[in-house]
Amino acid sequence: MKVSHKEPQPKSDWLPERDRMNAGRIDVAELDGGLDLQATIESGQSYLWRRPDGEMYDGDEQRGGDAWYETVVRIDDGSIRLDAGDPVVVRVRQDDSHLDWESTTDAEWIVRSLLRLDDDLPAIRAATPDDELLERAYDRYWGLRLVADPPFGTLISFICSAQMRVSRIHGMQVALAETFGETVTADGRSYPVFPTPEQLAAATESQLRDLGLGYRAPYVQRTAEIVASGDAHPESARDRPYEDAREYLTQFVGVGEKVADCVLLFALDFLEAVPLDTWIRTTIEEYYPDCDRGSYAETSRAIRQRLGGEYAGYAQTYVFHYLRNEE
DNA sequence: CCCGTACCTGACGA
DNA sequence: ATCGTCAGGTACG
């Protein structure tokens, strides 16, 4: 792997062919609850993967069945959480019974972490209440997993998500990477890397508007600046109790309670977080009207309890994907 | 605290 | 064609 405008990799006898990809295969049958890779990546919870065939969000579940998905994460001291360290390319593809991966490093642990492959789906489902809507959603997309994306990229992409369509949110993240991030090459191909907080903080509002971010442009720039300055980092929310963590995240510009819940759920392992977006609010109106308590905080408490508490975020993600596709 | 309003922009249907 | 509406909301008064 080569990283642009960086020193050449140190000589290493175990890496004579640095463009050679590592590869591996995970038996889906060994995962508790299996896997639906396309639903997991294209359900609007992660915007940090790409399909080289360019067919993301085309709604075709047949053709998407065995597509490759690619992302680049930074590994620092064995962690993918801190937006620092060397970029690592990760590619995955699912056929009927396997999840194949390729990477510039030995990446099985990264794949397992990003796609939450060690979550015990049957146990999670068993912990959610007996509820007709939940049963339908779980049945329809069984194998859909939450993701555990890098916090900074998640923070930025969900700031961009305000009043925006899923496919366009994804396009923005691609544009941010191509415009402000580095490029790594691996196996003869080049991969844009999501920008670091420093790289994004250096962008101007005008540059960001040119990428189509609209009124989100200053939100993204100022939030990147806060993270780059060291004043705060989304990862710092992890150690707090759930509602404190949500409050902590709202200090970033463009982050209200809903976006904060998305970061908690999709990046920081708060599986009880239920982002109250327009879809879930409609769902509450229709299926759980008694949970509408007016304020975000109180409605959040009520719906979290109704969806089973500890894993309410899992239920939310299934319902979100189900209603968004079946209507 | 709670409430109304302005906000970029492209895609889509009338 | 040109226009109104809408999209995983938030900041601000």
* Residue A201 vs residues A186, A198, A235: alpha-carbon distances, Å: 27, 5, 18
Q: Which nucleotides of C are covered by protein (CB under 7 A)?
A: 7-11
Q: In this complex, which residue's CA is closest to the C1' atom of nucleotide B1?
A: A295
Q: How far is the C-alpha of A317 from the C-alpha of A207, rounded, in Å?
A: 33
Q: Is this prediction's pTM over 0.85? A: yes
DSSP assignment of A144-206: -------HHHHHHHHHTTTT--HHHHHHHHHHHHHHHS-EEEETTEEEE-PPPHHHHHTS-HH
Q: How far is the C-alpha of A38 from the C-alpha of A41, rounded, in Å?
A: 5
In which residue are the tokens 């780059």 written?
A228
- Residue A8: the pLDDT is 42
Question: At A72, is the secondary structure helix, strand, or coil?
Answer: strand
Dihedrals φ, ψ of A185, to 5°? Answer: -115, 140
CA angle A199, A237, A222 (to 5 degrees): 35
A138 touches strand C (CB under 7 A): no
Give the nucleotide at minimum CA-to-C1' distance from A165: C7
Question: At A115, is the secondary structure helix, strand, or coil?
Answer: coil
A47 touches strand C (CB under 7 A): no
Give the nucleotide at minimum CA-to-C1' distance from A163: C7
- Residue A63: the pLDDT is 73
pLDDT in tens, chain A (327 residues): 555 553 444 434 444 445 679 999 999 999 999 999 999 999 999 999 999 998 898 767 777 789 999 999 999 999 998 888 999 999 999 998 999 999 999 999 999 999 999 999 999 999 999 999 999 999 999 999 999 999 999 999 999 999 999 999 999 999 999 999 999 999 999 999 999 999 999 999 999 999 999 999 999 999 999 999 999 999 999 999 999 999 999 999 999 999 999 999 999 999 999 999 999 999 999 999 999 999 999 999 999 999 999 999 999 999 999 999 885
In which residue are the tokens 């994004």 written?
A200
Give the nucleotide at minimum CA-to-C1' distance from A214: B8
- Residue A54: the pLDDT is 86
Give the nucleotide at minimum CA-to-C1' distance from A215: B8
- Residue A11: the pLDDT is 39
Neighbours of A282 (CB within 10 A): 12
In which residue are the tokens 């790594």 written?
A184
